[in-house]
Structure formats: C-alpha cells, structure tokens
C-alpha cells in the first residue's frame, strides 16, 4: 500500500531527503517529523493542523534569510547520519526509542 495514502511517511524519509537537499524544513509537530526536526535548530515545527502557525513560520523564514540558511545547514549536518552506512543504526535506535 502506498505510504502517502496512509498519511504517513516511513521514519520521516521525505524529511531527511529534503534536509540532504540543503532545504530548511518546516514540519508538523507529530509522528516522525518531530523526531527528526529539533525546533529552531534543524528546522521549525508547528502545531499539527494549525495553518495560521504554519503561515507564520513561512513568513518568518521568508523575512529572515540568515535563519533560513542556518536551519538548512543544521538540517543537512543532522541528516548526514542517515546516509548509507549510518542509516541502519539510526533506524534501529529510533525504533527502540519509540517502542
């Protein structure tokens, strides 16, 4: 079954992929996303389904390009640990923490 139809992304794969693309992340504070994004360090989190807060975060990064770049760099550095060779250990640790 397509994981997107279920409304989930397995272990935040899309989040990590975007971090590795050197993009600043804004994500809902739920599920794997909040496990991967440290608010105001590797990205920004907003309350799930709160579109006003999401809009505020978008405007904030639009206006503060220095913070945009900082989050992108920090996110990239964080996501590198999920690359080949490191990914299996990180996935195991995450599953263990969530169990």
Write down the pTM of the prediction.
0.74
Query: How confident is the prediction along the chain (99 residues), in pLDDT tens digits per residue?
Result: 333 433 334 456 888 889 999 999 999 998 888 889 999 999 999 999 999 999 999 999 999 999 999 999 999 999 988 776 676 776 778 788 887
Percent helix, strand and coil across the chain, each rounded to 5?
A: 60, 10, 30
What are the backbone dihedrals phi and psi of residue 37, each rounded to the nearest 5 degrees, phi first?
-100, 125
Q: What pLDDT does residue 55 have?
A: 96
């Amino acid at each position: 079954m397509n994981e997107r139809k279920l409304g989930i992304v397995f272990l935040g794969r899309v989040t990590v992929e975007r971090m590795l693309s050197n993009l600043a992340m804004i994500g809902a504070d739920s599920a794997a996303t909040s496990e991967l994004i440290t608010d105001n360090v590797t990205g920004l989190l907003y309350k799930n389904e709160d579109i006003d807060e999401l809009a505020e975060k978008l405007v904030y990064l639009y206006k503060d390009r220095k913070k945009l770049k900082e989050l992108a760099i920090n996110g990239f550095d964080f996501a590198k640990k999920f690359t080949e060779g490191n990914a299996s250990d990180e996935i195991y640790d995450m599953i263990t923490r969530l169990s």
